[in-house]
Structure 1
Amino acid sequence: MQAQACCCADPLIRDLFGVNICDHHDFPSALASLLGAKLTDRALAEPVMTRLVAACLKANPAIAVAAAQDILATRERDPACHDLTTPFLFFKGWQALQAHRIAHQLWLEGRRPLAYQLQARVNELFGIDIHPAARLGQGLTIDHGTGIVIGETAIVEDNVSLFQNVTLGGTGHEEGARHPIVREGALVGAGAIVLGRVSIGRGAKVGAASVVLGNIPDYATAVGNPARVVRLEPPNLVGPPAPFPNFGAQI
């Protein structure tokens, strides 16, 4: 990624590539610098925020692994993404995911007011609201990103794709584990609303603007309000193994 970025031919944007990518000796350093600059506000100056992010990456190296896998997933699944530097520098869905990973690390360390501060800052910057306690895997894509809401007890496994205005929320009538589980490889279309402790199965697809109030089986396609299964496809058992190892439990 660094070599690709440092070949930028446009002199007006070359410095952007330099300060965010080319001037750093490794990916975690570049990620800490990027998030530090993005998340800073009047309460937390950029150097302080950058050191905070760097400390979280050092405490949990799996965060940087997940961030790199998210970049690879974005390039693979998003036809508008043709290289590795574009999501890193310009895609707010990818940036919001990485900011959440830092907030989640702070949450696990018991630094909850600081975790909430990062959640609020991401919401202000990107219009994406992910509770710091939510558990997200890797190899994720958030396409466009605007309006994404993910609740406190939600679980999103590896290789999931979420589109804009997706809500993984509660019904308002439960306590404890009250938000959805989105299983590995699932896709949730734009504007879909998934409520309660329901499961979106492995490889399942939820159509745009659908409202899901019950479990969706593995490899099913569900659409409508309320959502109903319109197609059930068996998994493809032929071919290479899943492209990303499972680090979700570590993040």
Structure 2
Amino acid sequence: MKHCEKKKVWHAVDAEARQLAEQEPMLASFYHATIIKHDSLCSALSYILANKLQTPSMPAMAVREVVEEAFAADPSITASAACDICAVVNRDPAVSMYSTPLLYLKGYHALQGYRVANWLWKQGRYALASYLQNQISVACQVDIHPAARIGKGIMLDHATGIVIGETAVVENDVSILQDVTLGGTGKECGDRHPKIREGVMIGAGAKVLGNIEVGEGAKIGSGSVVLQAVPPHTTVAGIPAKVIGRPTSDKPSLDMDQAFNGKSQQFIDGDGI
């Protein structure tokens, strides 16, 4: 699906769910409750998030009311949700169906929950936004501050342990693997978190700390600690991270190549960043 239109994504999800319900009767009621009985991505996603984030003090019905309020007020939330589904299908070789992120992937759930919390935060409803942030963290093991700014076409792969701080910026078409931190460097206040530009891929376990820019199309190796700005279209790795080469594509986030390719001797020797 080249153009990730919300209606086209929903039609694919609905068709898959109906086929899956026939193939596996034991899950027919599950597919019906989560997808088949709904008439739109908005409706299905609000139901799924509500049941994921409910608590005894805030049952699913109340959570869903908040989610649907956000969806109605800002249609870009569900447009971004559709783009995020396409991002996962296009980049994750383990995912071949559009229904999979919506039904099963906690990184996707955490990201859409964040989008609702972010809307609440921008409305000045800080208490409810923080409440949702906590529930997302408990349910999904992903901690995204509601004030962070995140674009569309985002994949949080596996997702466990991802932390994104209050003043972080993540632009469109970024891929982030598990256990990544976009954090500060201490107790400083103000603008203190990383700015991740379009097309960046951040490998598992990487830590990007401080108000630094990771340039467009950069790639950060797994387990790296990034303390300085990363030039566009470079590959960095290590502790502390240094430039070791260049990605083989303009947007490493799209091809998800984890290898360190395109090295030159000067990069191998370590120019730093």
Asked if the contact 1:219–1:234 (Cα under 8 Å) also holds between the matched residues in 2, the reply is no
Unpaired stretches in structure 2, ≥5 consecutive residues: 1-12, 255-273
Asked if the contact 1:146–1:164 (Cα under 8 Å) also holds between the matched residues in 2, the reply is yes
Shift >4 Å, 4+ stretches: 233-237
Unpaired stretches in structure 1, ≥5 consecutive residues: 243-251
Asked if the contact 2:87–2:153 (Cα under 8 Å) also holds between the matched residues in 1, the reply is yes
Instruction: Provide the residue aligned with 2:119 in structure 1.
Output: 105
- Aligned residue pairs: how many? 238
CA RMSD of aligned residues (A): 1.4
Q: TM-score, normalised by structure 2?
A: 0.85
Deviation at 1:235, TM superposition (A): 6.5
Asked if the contact 2:219–2:247 (Cα under 8 Å) also holds between the matched residues in 1, the reply is no
**Separation (CA, whole Å) in 1 of partners of 2:187 and 2:58:** 37
Asked if the contact 1:73–1:140 (Cα under 8 Å) also holds between the matched residues in 2, the reply is yes
**Separation (CA, whole Å) in 2 of partners of 1:90 and 1:110:** 31
Matches within 5 A, 1:179-198: 179-198=193-212
1:179 to 1:235, Cα distance in 2 relative to 1, 3 A = same
Asked if the contact 2:136–2:142 (Cα under 8 Å) also holds between the matched residues in 1, the reply is yes
Q: Letter of the aligned partner of 2:47 in structure 1?
A: S
**Separation (CA, whole Å) in 2 of partners of 1:234 and 1:217:** 15
Q: Which has the larger radius of gyration?
A: 2
Matches within 5 A, 1:169-248: 169-232=183-246, 236=250
Q: Does residue 167 in structure 1 map to residue 175 in structure 2? A: no
Matches within 5 A, 1:100-179: 100-179=114-193
Q: Equivalent residue of 2:26, what SS?
A: coil
Deviation at 1:96, TM superposition (A): 0.4
For residues 5-40 of structure 1, what are the alpha-carbon distances to aligned partners after superposition, in whole Å with 9 as ceiling and x for unaligned? 111110111211111111011111111111111111
Deviation at 1:232, TM superposition (A): 3.0
Instruction: Provide the residue aligned with 1:38 in structure 2.
Output: 52
Which one has the bigger helix percentage? 2
Instruction: Provide the residue aligned with 1:7 in structure 2.
Output: 19
Asked if the contact 1:192–1:208 (Cα under 8 Å) also holds between the matched residues in 2, the reply is yes
**Separation (CA, whole Å) in 1 of partners of 2:250 and 2:132:** 39
